[in-house]
Amino acid sequence: MEKLRLNQCATGTVEGYSSEGLGIVRLNGAVVFVPRAVRGEGIELRITKVMKTAAAGEIVRIVRPSPERVKPECPYYGRCGGCDFQHLTYGEELWAKRQRVQDALTRLGGTDLVVEEILGAKNPQRYRNKSQYPVGADGTIGFYQARSHKVVAVDRCLIQSEISDRTAQAVGEWMRRYKVPAYDETTGKGLIRHIYVRVNRKGESLCCVVANGRQLPREPELAAYVRAAAPHTVGVVLNVNTRKGNVILGEKYRTLWGENFLMDTLCGLTFKLSVPSFYQVNRDQAEVLYAKALEFAGLTGEETVLDLYCGTGTITLCMASRAKRVIGAEIVAPAIADARENAERNGISNAEFFCGDAAEVAARLESEGLRPDVITVDPPRKGLSPEVIASVAAMSPRRVVYVSCDPATLGRDLRIFAELGYPAVRAAAVDMFPGTRHVETVALLAACADCLVP
């Protein structure tokens, strides 16, 4: 079998998509990953990189185009690394995401469970309620180029709120007007690193400027520029991040004008959101996601529910109206403070919250004899640690509802849960991030068939 060579040209058919959203073509027994290729297309490609077991390629010519290919609406597509699927119809994008979840459950999870459905967005544009714009060393504001820290200037992003775009551009105008230097990550010098904007359902916004310093020049003028661009701004906040590295937010905040939080409504409840609080970036799809989690939880009003990685308490408080007692745990202290306020604000008296590492909190509650009927988990992309999984299984819940933003770590964790007596019995995907390769999944795990019946 002939080995693929660099710059070799060949013709092949695109079979599907990788977890990174790349088209997959098989040549000479090797998998070739091709950006912006569409399933079913016949393409002429050129090999751009040869690896041990795979290769990378680029399209030279589309020999047989797919009806699922569309012209990207975004003028930055291909330069900005934010989106992966703008060359696909939305139906094809949903197919790719559902298949990605299915592959992860089968290959990594070792289960024959079928993904029941993928719940798509009614509006796949302008859905993000949180935007984070990196600022390049030359003052460019936009988003990173794929697999780099080079900032591509973006004035208008089709998945961000228009309010966020206007706010980011206003900060850029303030920087240019008063010669405020951008941060240079190679030298550690300069000031402005990121522009962070939250927007609520009513169109109000909270602006946070992340800086390599505790003071900004012309702070009142900064607030004035932001308010002129987004009149419904409720606050302008400075976040201090003097550390090198890729972490966006530092630990210290100072309010420059107005409030340091934003109020929003989700699932009929009101939530207070400070800058570091976790909150799903797509409000409409978050309601779809949580409705599916509630369905899988199968609550009757008599259960005790433990919610790990609870953030500002969104899932916890959504469960509260259908449970006897709900307990939320989260390591971010401001988020727990917001969660407690959110419970009080919504008149929810059967919820309590603990601040701490999920593994430690789960182990402590398990050692104290807590036996929740249902445990929900919504971990970060890295998934659950073996210690958390062991503690969850040791509490012997009837059902575990796992909300995941990464199919690979979900598959890995489901295999461990199954070994501890908690196989996955249902799974559904939710498109929280249209235009990108990312997808949310809700999985139901149960110790026995009887546990599926509330």
Burial class of residue 78, CB neighbours in 10 A (0-12, 13-18, 19+): middle
Clarify whether 355 is annotated catalytic: no
Q: Tokens for 82?
A: 């934010």
Q: Are 227 and 163 in contact (CB under 8 A)?
A: no
Pull the structure tokens for residue 240.
């201090």
Among candidate residues 157, 405, 448, 451, the one labeled active-site is 405
Plot region of 350 (φ>0 → left; ψ -120 to 50 → alpha; else → beta): alpha
Q: Transcribe 296-348 into DSSP letters.
A: HHT--S--EEEEES-TTTHHHHHHHTTSSEEEEEES-HHHHHHHHHHHHHTT-
- Quote the tokens at residue 322: 């259908």
Are β-strands 30-34 and 54-64 bridged in parallel, bridged antiparallel, or unpaired?
Answer: parallel
Q: In what order do the strands lie in the sheet with 118-119?
A: 118-119, 424-430, 440-446, 399-404, 374-377, 304-308, 325-330, 351-355
CA dist 129 and 164 (Å) reads 8
Indicate the Cα dihedral angle 208, 212, 213, 219, nearest 10°.
-40
Of the candidates 237, 130, 245, 229, the one whose C-alpha atom is nearest the C-alpha of residue 183 is 245
DSSP 108-162: IT---PPP--EE--S--SS-BSEEEEEB-TTS-BEEEBTTS-PEEE-S--TTB-H
CA atoms within 13 A on the CB side of 230: 29
The one-character DSSP state at 3 is P
Catalogue the active-site residues.
405
